[in-house]
Amino acid sequence: MSSQSLESKYTEEQYSEVDQYQPATRTGKIANYVDQRVGGTGMVREFGRKVFPDHWTFMFGEVALYSFVITVISGAFLTFWFDPSMASTRYDGAYVPLQGVEMSTAYATSLELSFDVRGGLFMRQLHHWAALMFIMAMAIHMLRVFFTGAFRKPRELNWVVGCTLLLAGLGAGFTGYSLPDEVLSGNGLRIIDGMLKAIPVVGTYISFFLFGGEFPGDEVIPRLYSLHIFIIPAVILILIAVHLFMVVTHKHTQYPGPGRTERNVVGYPIGPVYAAKAGGFFFVVFGVLALLAGTFQINALWNYGPYDPSPVQAGTQPDWYIGWFDGLLRLMPGYIGDIPLEFVLPTPWGGNSVATPVLVTFIPITALLLGLFVWPWIEAWITGDKKEHHILDRPRNVPGRTAFGMAMMIWYFVMWAAASSDLIATHFSLSFNDVLIWLRVLFFAGPILTFIITKRICLALQRKDREIVLHGNEAGVIEMLPHGEFREKHTRVSDYELYTLVSYESPEVTAARPNSRGKVGLLEKSRVTLNRTFFEDRVAPVSREEYIEALSHDDHGTAAELPAGSVGAIESKKN
Amino acid sequence: MGEHGNGDPSTGAVIKAGEGRSSGYAIDNPGLPPHRPRLADADEKAAKRAERQVSALFLISIIGTVMFFVGYFAVGVTAGDLNMLRLQNTLLGVGVAFAMLGIGLGVVQWARALMPDHEVVEDRKPLRKEEDRAEAAQTVDEILDETQIKRRPLLRNTLIGAALLAPLPAVVVFRDLDRSEDFGPERMRHTLWTEGVRLVRDPTGTPIRASDLTVGSAVHAIPETLREVSGHGDRLAEKAKAVVLLIRMNPDDFEAVTPGREDWKHEGIIACSKVCTHVGCPVALYERHTHHLLCPCHQSTFDAAAEFKVTFGPAGRPLPQLPITVDDEGFLIARSDFTEPVGPTYWERG
């Protein structure tokens, strides 16, 4: 190493400034104290007035975050009493009907939490409701992000983080659902065990290792407990931090509108308005969840009794987010006619069983979940759109995506509804065989019909937008012209509203691009087919020429009645 | 405040018409709409009213907290009194709800009615700068160069080998998640049933005489030896395989019997595994009229008259039948274990 000079790139004054600075105000003193030790005033300066766009649909992510915080708080409370042990005990708590019954410690302490700890029942119900709300809010938030195209470049990776958060949320929900060790959750675990065992080659062993032997054993609850209170929440916390960090890096998206461009963010500064609204909103979410926990009973586990492999209740339902797995299990038939779908694969060592009816259910599950993760890249590949986007799409302006998203939603809803096929049948006095058969039909026909219908609705809405731009709104006033013709008066909308209606891109079908060897491959052909389903039917946004044409045909509007800006803009274009 | 921060609430538009992205849209970006002052901005009375509304909400919050304490301390829940517990839970919940909603709605209303409501415009910074990227790439190249990893493939290859192997212990160390002595899928072929084991009622454990069962009845039964299994988990695991359903039907209702199963029934009494062959729920519902067994989890339906053949639903196999007979005292006993593994299908089942 050559000797280096002691010269610094900073001056002596810059170093000594820290000891000489004299703050003037009280806030300044606090800021100075903190800043001299750990820094951070830079962050306040950066974030104190950072701008966030405001829209009610941006709220669901917040709801998810706040629900998670409340699950953590209420869950921490529960851990002080709950004991996840499967050791056998004789119940001697306050709930009379179960006194003297042999049960696991996990179930006994769940009952203790509900009956003997004051506020314990409230906290248990708050925990459950908050967990349901957490996943519900995440799902709605993701739908908002999907239908407005907020996942597009540069936010694809944050979408993946969000998808992982959803999976982690499902994991947290299921592991928590199983902890009280009563009949209901025990049967839930039983179903998971059955699904695991259906996995070829490794499934049986995964089940053995999860349960520490044969189902149910006495190991599984403590194991789920570690996952539920430590590993999964840690993963969720880390992912939330990454998620929010990326939101700050990217800055929030915004809806199209006057004054908004791809280069700016229009909204309220964090301090004070946004912070007050968001902070106040935490208390609103907490309040709503507390109201639910106080007035709507959830998971009345004292009714079910300790887990026993023999009893089960008819009409039980899993937590909502697990419903579609359960529904799929019901939808898939075991036999087609008299032909069993299960078969034995002949192997030299005596054959292996393939549990087709269970395995087939993994296909839609994988398709939906995996599809969620990779959608940003699939869409970019179909559309060929590699640009950055900060302005959101109005769902109607992207009929292809909106229709596809709705189709997938309906697909999900059919699976979810199938989980309640027995309740649908009993509530509406139908044959449950018929209900299930119809749901099987809808499983295939539903998404296709939805795609077609949604696309037509989007196109119709786009036409309506064109109509408003070109002719204005119907004023509800019928005029009689001098020559006797009746017509309805139209009023033109302001430029501010107009801009929202016309400022969107409307891509057209892109032709197949030959590869380097001048050939159009199979992949490119399928891309073009998908591209065509996306963009073939298209309502173009009103062009400048069309708009000027419409203005000149406008019998009612004179230049004086029009907003000044638009006339100026149009004239400058003419010149 | 943002670079284009608009300090004057009465103007609003900071982007001038046509200033935004020049595009092919029908009209140019007209800029932010002019700011409309709220009532509270113009009228001090309205502002006062808003202030009173917010304070009222905060007061509601205080009342809510008091309600929580009333519920917690004043409601005495005696053991097993579900109604008082419900009342207490409602008071706690509604109390906390008021306490939280009061603060939350108050603050939100404060922000909406009194805090500045003019929108602010901030520029987006370009996420990436060309020179930053070039510099980063160069730094990485330099670092790689200094490690000499490209020049010394022996280093690289042995490192890759070591790095691939090193995580394996982290997988192997979980092997003892299942420490049972009878580890392996073979144990799933056996249950507690063997020749001569009595069928007893679940959960009382009383043996069942064939003459106790009337035509049309169905009884949950477990092996008498189950109570000898020590350990909560082991007992549950054995029970999860051994539970059977005993049904007595009119002997004329049975359809053709598979050869070899002729002596598996006793008079009209037939026994089957209660564990669904789909994913393992207890097949708990019996419809006497049609002899159908129904699994309430996924609605697999089995026909007891046709050796538990699947008539509807997702199950892929009939329920295994347990061969039974009676002993000298007339109690029902098993003739043998099940002749096939019970419960959901698994890969090694064959």
Domain residue limits at A154: 55-255+266-328
Cβ contact B278–A86 (<8 Å): no
Q: What is the dihedral of CA A195, A201, A205, A210, to 10 degrees?
A: -40
How distant, in Å, are the alpha carbons of A35, A313, A527 from that of A306? Answer: 57, 13, 55
Q: What confidence tier does B35 reach under pLDDT thresholds 50, 70, 90? A: confident
Residue A535: how many CB atoms within 10 A of its CB? 18
Q: Are residues B192 and B316 in the same domain?
A: yes
Query: What distance in Å separates residue B328's CA from the closest CA in chain A?
Result: 29
Residue A565 pLDDT: 43
CA distance B34 to A51: 19
pLDDT in tens, B140-176: 999 999 999 889 999 999 999 999 999 999 999 999 9
**Nearest CB partner across the interface for B17, out of A190, A354, A568:** A568
Residue A560 pLDDT: 39
B22 or A232, greater pLDDT: A232
Whether residue A150 lies inside any domain: the answer is yes
Whether residue B236 lies inside any domain: the answer is yes
Whether residue B306 lies inside any domain: the answer is yes
Total number of domains constituting chain A? 1
Whether residue A214 lies inside any domain: the answer is yes
Residue B15 pLDDT: 43
pLDDT in tens, B206-257: 999 999 899 999 999 999 999 999 888 899 999 999 999 999 999 999 988 8
- The domain boundary, picked from B88, B113, B138, lies at B113
Residue A336 pLDDT: 92
CA distance A162 to A170: 12
Q: Are residues B66 and B198 in the same domain?
A: no
Residue A575 pLDDT: 32
Residue A28 pLDDT: 83
CATH of the domain at A194: 1.20.810.10
The answer for residues whose C-beta is within 8 angstroms of residue A263's C-beta and 6 or more apart is A390, B20, B21, B123, B124
Residue B130 pLDDT: 78
CA distance A205 to A354: 15
CA distance A546 to A544: 5
Cβ contact A215–B239 (<8 Å): no
Residue B178 pLDDT: 94
Cβ contact B280–A269 (<8 Å): no
Q: Among A92, A116, A122, A548, which would you mutate to test the B interface (most chain B Cβ atoms within 10 Å of its Cβ)?
A: A122
The DSSP annotation for A373-420 comes to: HHHHHHHHHHH---S---BPPPGGG-HHHHHHHHHHHHHHHHHHHHTT
Q: What is the ipTM of this complex?
A: 0.89
Burial class, A447, CB count within 10 angstroms (exposed 0-12 / middle 13-18 / buried 19+): buried
Domain residue limits at B332: 186-349
Q: What is the CA radius of gyration of chain A?
A: 30
Whether residue A549 lies inside any domain: the answer is no
**Nearest CB partner across the interface for A259, out of B31, B92, B312:** B31
- The domain boundary, picked from B74, B94, B113, lies at B113
Q: At what angle do helices B82-113 and B44-69 cross, to 10 degrees?
A: 160
Whether residue B154 lies inside any domain: the answer is no
Question: With 80 as the cut, is the pLDDT of residue B78 above it?
Answer: no
Do A155 and A246 form a contact (C-beta atoms < 8 A)? yes
Whether residue B222 lies inside any domain: the answer is yes
Whether residue B180 lies inside any domain: the answer is no
- For the sheet with A51-52, list strands across it: A51-52, A264-269, B120-123
Contacts of B274 in chain A (CB under 8 A): 310
A554: nearest Cα among A478, A476, A454, A469? A469
CB within 8 Å of chain B, chain A residues 160-189 = 187
Residue A516 DSSP class: T
CA distance A62 to A279: 10
Question: With 60 as the cut, is the pLDDT of residue B9 above it?
Answer: no
Bridge partners of B310, per DSSP, are B302
Residue with tokens 């089995």: B302
Mean pLDDT, chain A cut into blocks of 10 residues (575 residues total): 65 77 83 79 78 92 97 97 94 91 95 92 97 97 97 95 97 95 92 95 96 93 96 97 93 92 89 90 97 94 91 85 94 93 92 94 96 96 91 95 97 96 93 93 97 96 94 88 88 91 89 84 90 89 89 59 41 35
Residue B287 DSSP SS3: strand
Whether residue A390 lies inside any domain: the answer is no
Whether residue B303 lies inside any domain: the answer is yes
Residue A555 pLDDT: 55
- The domain boundary, picked from B63, B97, B113, lies at B113
Total number of domains constituting chain B? 2
Whether residue A291 lies inside any domain: the answer is yes
CA distance B157 to A362: 39
Question: With 80 as the cut, is the pLDDT of residue B76 above it?
Answer: no
Q: Are residues B78 and B201 in the same domain?
A: no
Whether residue B17 lies inside any domain: the answer is no
Residue A287 pLDDT: 97
The DSSP annotation for A471-500 comes to: H-EEEEEEEE-TTS-EEEEEEPPPHHHHHH
Amino acid letter for position A543: S
Whether residue B57 lies inside any domain: the answer is yes
CA distance A396 to A461: 7
B77 or B17, greater pLDDT: B77
Q: Is A316 on the interface with B (CB under 8 A)?
A: yes
CATH of the domain at B269: 2.102.10.10
Whether residue A397 lies inside any domain: the answer is no
Whether residue A149 lies inside any domain: the answer is yes
Residue A16 pLDDT: 78
CB within 8 Å of chain A, chain B residues 45-84 = 72, 77, 79-80
The answer for residues whose C-beta is within 8 angstroms of residue A321's C-beta and 6 or more apart is A132, A135, A136, A139, A169, A170, A173
CA distance A195 to B114: 57
Return the HEC string of A16-42. HHHHHCCCCCHHHHHHHHHHHHHCCHH
A531: nearest Cα among A561, A560, A555, A507? A507
Whether residue A132 lies inside any domain: the answer is yes
